[in-house]
Structure 1
């Protein structure tokens, strides 16, 4: 039986570790829709200078009677917004400029719509990076709906352009007329969005008040879904310790607290010294994928698929007295790592304030956050009677342990969802298959690496387990297409959101429009809770009546522009929601936890 399984697993591993395209691209014959609209790239320069921005444009050419839609659809238009996805050399950046106004075009069922036909140029600003003499290739994928009076179909034309870098930028006279007629200002003259360093209406708090906010924020982190599973594991160890001497229980509590503080000090030091924003580690797809595999393995362990020794599972449920203290320390480290992206209410102001303080005071802020996170377990250790009042260990614990495993599986699902904001298309499928291979390795270990099995069987099982876990991690390692940037708008919660950029904010404010900005990230649980507010029908009507433009600043992946905007607002974590009122220079910053009432109140002041 083992030989048969071994052959099968060997075949699976060959498939898993075989070479595959890094970005899983395929060359497909252009479809009929692509023929109705073609795309090409034009540039205002023949050669660009490193660090100097220049304009580029996507040239869309429509066949007669066919049209596509603009970046944003009017409320009465049924269609699909046109979006662009850019791929640039490493270090280059792109920012979309205002597109031409749409105009009336014939649509289906004898009706008219708003869109583009004929030839249209969609401009963007490119900032190159590199040395003179280098060459960079720019490519763009257009995602549009192309329609004629009879029918509509999706179209995804692509275009590429090669740009050389020189000591001095050289304009292209042939493109002077094209770019001269664009309504957008030259790239070098784009106004930067002005965000105040401080918010005038923000209430002043003393340093002691911020320390209290830091402690309460850390305490609230214990009930966040990215932290609670870790507490669940530690609760299991506390249950098993019921009846032990008080000194040993206290040692566990102090070790856990010390682990939390060590990790908070280390991460706080990185935030202060590198200027990074809180939660930056979850902007790494590899880090998130590693956490997925980590929680999956321990979830399968708690579910009873396999058992491993206490010394290897410091965060597990089977801690023994000799190795339990080090396990509690490691659990504190783990709790902090998975807690940092959850900027709970009360914690956001404390973090934003901390990065503006001298190093010693800032570290004191991080210490208070850590103490808040560690306090529940520490209280149990300081008051052993609370531990002794817990039920005695028994057969019921196996069912309880297996039930707790679903908390970990829920965390895996949440982290996998976070990954979908970083990894797109087929690479995400490979990432999920990688986790399946890791789970297969756990099953092999639990099925054949048992004490009563022959030594040869156990050795083979361990080797196959290592191959599966290592091969699964390598096979599923997130493949992110560097330089890819997507723009456009999308509908979420019944509202149309446009992509945020400093230039977009400056453009809208110059047009005297009300602007609402949602700084958010997929890995921020509080951000996801806030989204429920936007589904309120009365709030949606208020937004429409006030003609508020909604911008989404997605910080799921690292974006230095968003980091700077948050810093200018005095913030270091998401969620952050701000409202710019026409005629007022400074924005109104809403509370971290949104409600229909506080958002409506802010909008009614327009």
Structure 2
């Protein structure tokens, strides 16, 4: 079903719900209104001046009234004035409404007592001494969660005995009315969306902005509203909905948040800026079930990483040694899974906690810290040496049978497996930054379950264990072979330590990783003196590490000669009228490096970009960068890689996380 059909269905359904509710209203005309109302003036009338009247509503608990545009369902207020000759009532001025969702419909309502202010122009020659009563026939709709009742009343305007009687009350009423901005807004309407530019000082904070459009059937009231800042201009994008009316002018209220603050605006067709900095809370449109599936599949693929596959392989061989011990296999499978999931939950919870405290971080944030990288280097070096047979540590997780060793191995596998976001993981981990904490942690648990799934299946499916090779002397050779990918992982961490902390830091981290191996090997050979010297030297390098991580290393060279990413640089590149290819990478991201070798760092890509006039731009997230983190959040991804293509004069398009050799060449040649 197309979106326009769905919008029409929602509109008709809302009308049907409203009519059915109104038909169900009590027939008695003698009952009290569910929303009581009265009409009072701020002061006595003065010829030639504007008199302000307040139409005050007091909803009964559980009932609500409506704004001028009620939303998907409901009915706005209607007024018929009875005024002396020459007197004229102006447009009602409403407080900022609230959103209310009922039966999938979005309504604009007031649940608490509220006042609508109406300016009344008093003629210069008006006789105000003994004027006839001023009345208004008012009609409004009162609704609860289950019932809607049309209500009416003929209200007589009451004048205060003295001008000070209602001064304090009118101060509150006027403070609740959104003031009109002193500059005109502009808008552009397309078949799919409304883009609205509202002049607003950049210094004004907007924690949770929302636009209420007074004209009906212009926007989809349930659509996610996105906001960007372009200097002193706030730009809102809202999907179209309803009957898709196209008015020549727009009026509305920009609400600043849930506190009732906002401004009124009037907008006419005009230019609306593109780009800018994304503001306001983000939401997640993808169903949670799909996100959980992506996290599960992403975790499963992490088992292919060179630092995880050796650990998984040796743990699988421990089951082969166990023979037919069914109960033990299941216990180890569960213990390993528990270790993986707990580690993923701990990393996820730490990331969410740091973000809630204001830190601009994303997934794999731990690999942006030099000391964490040094600790991982020590661990990878010890595992490499163990695989190589230089020493044996009975308590090393990957060498221990039983639930304790399996649990510890699960912890280890999760820690070394989670640096990058690969296929399927990006959307899930990006959503985890936006979802409530409980749902976000559920995604991290699904990631851990995917990572642990191969070993868990081995533990619970005897047929899979029977497919494992029989124990034999070959296992020792196989273990030494697995030292190669672990050794390459250690070398990669040495390089990353250099990139993060500089040459002095990398040397100290390398020494710190080698000295424990020297100490353990010397102890194995009975040379206690060498072991003690190695321990002392290791303690020295460990103590000096925090003081060495001071150097900053520039980004690596690229055949595309990219511009360094910044918000200003991106705005300038897009304003040039040329296509822009923007990619975000990190030295610790394996997927990033593979894509760069396969698709980005190629002469064919460079030549295609040069011919099409493509501006290449790169954001290096090896070290923490809050500006890059904010941009990643705008695309609802938690980490790198991220590839975005901006066609000339167009909006950005996110590219797949796995690039093919000719994907960028074809994109540049297409001219899109």
Pick the TM interval, shorter chain: 0.5 to 0.7
SS of the residue 1:496 aligns to: coil
For the residue of structure 2 that corresponds to 1:278, the secondary structure is coil
Displacement after TM superposition at 1:575 (Å):
0.2
The correspondence for 2:396, drawn from 313, 317, 328, is 313
- Distance, in Å, in 1 between the alignment partners of 2:502 and 2:486 is 24
Other-structure match for 1:520: 585
Report the alpha carbon displacement of residue 293 of structure 1 after superposing the two structures with TM: 1.0
2:344 aligned to 235, 256, 264, which one?
264
**Equivalence for 2:476:** 398
Give CA deviations for 1:53-101 in whole Å, capped at 9, x if unaligned. Answer: xxxxxxxxxxxxxxxxxxxxxxxxxxxxxxxxxxxxxxxxxxxxxxxxx
Shift in Å, 1:235: 2.5
2:658 aligned residue (586, 593, 601): 593
Task: Report the Cα distance in structure 2 between the residues aligned to 1:194 and 1:300, rounded to whole angstroms.
Answer: 51
- Identify which of 362, 365, 372 aligns with 1:277: 362
Change (3 A) 1:589 1:334: same
Q: How far 1:561 sits from its partner (Å)?
A: 1.0
What is the aligned partner in structure 1 of residue 168 from structure 2? Answer: none
**1:406 Cα offset (Å):** 1.9
SS in 1 for 2:292: helix
1:41-440, aligned counterparts within 5 Å?
194=276, 205-243=286-324, 245-275=325-355, 276-309=361-394, 312-315=395-398, 317=399, 319-320=400-401, 324-440=402-518
Helix, strand or coil at the partner of 2:561? strand
Alignment CA distance shift 1:481-1:383 (3 Å): same
Deviation at 1:573, TM superposition (A): 1.0
- Contact 2:284-2:431 at 8 Å conserved across structures: no
Task: Flag the 1:506–1:262 CA change in 2: closer, same or farther, 3 A.
Answer: same
Structure number with bigger Rg? 2
Distance 1:287 1:485, change over 3 A: closer
The structure, 1 or 2, with the larger RCO (C-alpha pairs under 8 Å, 6+ apart) is 1
Question: Aligned to 1:580, which of 640, 646, 649?
Answer: 646
Match of 2:615 in 1: 549
Residue 470 of structure 1 corresponds to which residue in structure 2? 539
TM-score normalised over the length of structure 1:
0.60
Distance 1:426 1:596 in 2: 37
Q: Which runs of 5+ in 2 are unaligned?
A: 1-272, 356-360
Q: Give per-residue Cα distances to partners, 1:562-590, cap 9 Å, x unaligned.
A: 11111112111100011223322x31111
Q: Does the 8 Å CA contact 2:299/2:449 hold for their aligned counterparts? A: yes
> Which residue of structure 1 lines up, in the alignment, with residue 238 of structure 2?
none
User: Which residue number corresponds to residue 452 of structure 1?
Assistant: none
By how many angstroms is 1:339 displaced?
1.5
Higher helix share: 1
- Report what 1:560 is aligned to: 626
Query: Which stretch has the larger CA shift, 221-230 or 418-427?
Result: 418-427
Which residue in the other structure is 1:444 paired with?
Answer: 522
Deviation of the 1:428 alpha carbon: 2.9
Q: Deviations over 1:491-547 (max 9, x none)?
A: 42x321222112211222233333221111011100001102124443322200121
Deviations along 1:23-62, one digit per CA (max 9) or x if unpaired, are: xxxxxxxxxxxxxxxxxxxxxxxxxxxxxxxxxxxxxxxx
Aligned to 1:46: none
Question: For structure 1, which segment, 216-225 or 500-509, has the greater mean C-alpha deviation from structure 2 after superposition?
Answer: 500-509
Cα separation, partners in 2 of 1:216 and 1:197, compared to 1, 3 Å? farther
- TM-score using structure 2 length: 0.54
| Displacement after TM superposition at 1:462 (Å) | 5.6
Partner of 1:164: none
Asked if 2 retains the 8 angstrom alpha-carbon contact of 1:445 and 1:465, the reply is no
Shift of residue 351, structure 1, vs aligned partner: 0.8
Q: Which residue of 2 aligns with 1:149?
A: none
The residue matched to 2:276 in structure 1 has which SS?
coil
Indicate the SS of the match to 1:277. coil
Root-mean-square deviation (CA, aligned residues, Å) is 2.8
Q: 2: CA distance between counterparts of 1:446 and 1:363?
A: 44
Residue ranges of structure 1 left out of the alignment (5+ in a row): 1-190, 449-456
